[in-house]
């Protein structure tokens, strides 16, 4: 992969939207965009930003895993609280927002790893539990299923999505022994690119759940990815040089890395 942007702390949760790359710099406390010409802009400063998405009006929805996890709506550089998540999570990380504005996020509470749902005008609810460590989340283009990368169980789960947004029983979408699946994105052939963070590479998982390609990162950690660019075939990966101990001490150096792939993305996340 090629290093596209340096000078970051711990980039995560990349999204391609409105002709730009959006991402959180978790330890840097900011959300940024980058245009195709390499110009960057700080959208908002936010403590421990994580998952990003966009509502039906195109406004940025941002997840913060601060001392009190909160969901925000960001307009004109100002973050306004949308939902207090402390009732469903003590720690959060990634999130995906579907076209209806339904936000799914990983929610960790005292040993129970969950997925929570935030719907406009409603209180957050837990819609799945008993997971290992859910990380990357994506909704299929037809809105029928949620995929969740589980780092600890080394797999990707699938959940059917009901009309009200709640999730059905989980099924195994891909078994990934030896991998450490983290953030993911979907492609137009029904496959997924996934950051295998501790393995330092991005892997492609085909629609049948098997690994079909591997792209090594330049950095030790490969945390998340998205597909975008003018034709949707640029894989943007967030990478970092850190360890778990260093990360929790606030010590990390991060990059955005890129490569070109054969199949375009679907815009989710």
Per residue in 35-93, pLDDT (tens digit) is 998 899 999 999 999 999 999 889 999 999 988 999 999 999 999 999 999 999 999 99
Q: What is the pLDDT of residue 177?
A: 97
Tokens encoding 200: 């330092």
CATH number, domain with residue 88:
2.120.10.30
Residue 268 lies in a domain: no
Domain that holds residue 143: 2-260
Per residue in 171-198, pLDDT (tens digit) is 999 999 999 999 999 999 999 999 999 9
Rounded Cα gap, residues 216 and 202, in angstroms? 6
Q: What is the pLDDT of residue 235?
A: 98
Range 111-122 average pLDDT: 93
Residue 269 lies in a domain: no
Residue 204 lies in a domain: yes
Q: What is the pLDDT of residue 16?
A: 97
CA distances from 225 to 22, 73, 154, 254, 255 (A): 11, 22, 17, 14, 12
- For the whole prediction, is pTM greater than 0.85? yes
Contact (CB, 8 A) for 176 and 211: yes
Contact (CB, 8 A) for 14 and 236: yes
Range 217-229 average pLDDT: 98
């Amino acid at each position: 992969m090629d290093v596209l942007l340096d000078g970051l702390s711990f980039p995560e949760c990349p999204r391609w939207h409105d002709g730009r790359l959006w991402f959180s710099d978790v330890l840097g406390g900011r959300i940024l965009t980058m245009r195709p010409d390499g110009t960057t802009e700080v959208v908002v400063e936010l403590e421990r930003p994580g998952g990003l998405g966009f509502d039906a009006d195109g406004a940025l929805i941002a997840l913060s895993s601060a001392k009190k996890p909160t969901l925000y709506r960001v307009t004109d550089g100002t973050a306004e609280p949308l939902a207090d998540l402390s009732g469903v999570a003590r720690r959060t990380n990634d999130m995906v927002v579907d076209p209806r504005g339904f936000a799914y996020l990983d929610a960790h509470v005292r040993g129970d790893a969950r997925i929570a749902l935030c719907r406009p005008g409603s209180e957050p609810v837990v819609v799945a539990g008993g997971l290992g460590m859910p990380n990357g989340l994506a909704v299929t283009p037809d809105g029928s299923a949620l995929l969740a990368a589980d780092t600890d169980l080394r797999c990707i789960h699938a959940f059917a999505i009901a009309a009200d947004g709640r999730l059905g029983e989980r099924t195994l979408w891909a078994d990934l022994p030896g991998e450490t699946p983290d953030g993911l994105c979907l492609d137009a052939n029904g496959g997924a690119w996934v950051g295998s963070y501790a393995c330092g590479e991005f892997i492609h998982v085909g629609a049948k759940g098997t690994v079909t390609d591997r792209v090594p990162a330049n950095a030790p950690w490969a945390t998340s990815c998205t597909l975008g660019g003018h034709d949707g075939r640029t894989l943007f990966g967030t990478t970092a040089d850190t360890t778990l101990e260093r990360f929790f001490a606030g010590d990390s150096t991060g990059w955005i890395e890129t490569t070109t792939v054969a199949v375009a993305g679907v815009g989710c996340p």
